[in-house]
């Protein structure tokens, strides 16, 4: 369902489109420069040029460049390569949520503002989903711990019941009677 913004109207892409372009790299949720450029409808080169012109706005925790290994890993996970078109001369840049927010200050088009709102909402939604998953994982761990405790108690109980059962069902030895036994 497209989101509405009072001044901008409908957002031009579905929310799921943005969600699929958020990757987990180096333990951070990021978006790649080529994906952002596509969303903003600007060439990747122009986006990176705007970033290079404003280095003070993009510290390391806002943006970083991928290593060749990270790029190859990402390429194998999702088809991001455009090798038939000559490829890239440098490794892609990855922008964190804060870096994406800062992009709106260097790209001042109406489309950039609309897309930034959509992207930030996608990051927030993803954070909420992850928090829900953490809560569920914690509850499952608690249930597993309780299950282990109950299983140990049941094992002891079963062992005791089996011992009692053996005692009850074991044949009784007939004791020799004390006293005179007449012979026949």
Q: Report whether pLDDT(10) > 50.
A: yes
Quick one: pLDDT at residue 1? Answer: 42
Quick one: pLDDT at residue 84? Answer: 46
Q: Report whether pLDDT(11) > 80.
A: no
Query: Could you tell me how far CA 50 lies from the centroid of its own chain?
Result: 31
Buried/exposed 75-105: b ≥16 CB within 10 Å, e otherwise: eeeeeeeeeeeeeeeeebbbbbbebbbbbbe
pTM of the complete model: 0.57
Domains of the chain, each with CATH number or no CATH: 4-130 (3.10.260)
Mean pLDDT of 20-39: 88
DSSP 47: H
pLDDT in tens, 48-104: 999 999 899 899 999 999 988 888 877 766 544 454 445 577 889 999 988 888 887
Q: Are 37 and 28 in contact (CB under 8 A)?
A: no
Q: Which carries the bigger pLDDT value, residue 26 or residue 172?
A: 26
């Amino acid at each position: 369902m497209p989101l509405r913004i009072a001044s901008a109207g409908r957002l031009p892409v579905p929310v799921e489109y943005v969600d699929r372009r958020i990757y987990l790299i180096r333990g951070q949720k990021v978006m790649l420069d080529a994906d952002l450029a596509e969303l903003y409808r600007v060439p990747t080169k122009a986006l990176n040029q705007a970033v290079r012109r404003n280095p003070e706005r993009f510290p390391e925790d806002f943006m970083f460049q991928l290593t060749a290994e990270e790029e190859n890993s990402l390429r194998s996970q999702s088809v991001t390569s455009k090798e038939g078109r000559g490829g890239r001369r440098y490794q892609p840049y990855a922008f964190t949520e804060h870096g994406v927010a800062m992009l709106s200050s260097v790209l001042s088009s109406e489309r950039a503002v609309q897309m930034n709102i959509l992207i930030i909402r996608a990051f927030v939604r993803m954070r909420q989903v992850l928090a829900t998953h953490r809560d569920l994982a914690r509850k499952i761990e608690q249930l597993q711990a309780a299950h282990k405790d109950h299983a140990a108690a049941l094992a002891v109980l079963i062992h005791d019941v089996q011992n009692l059962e053996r005692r009850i069902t074991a044949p009784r030895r007939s004791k020799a009677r004390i006293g005179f036994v007449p012979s026949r």
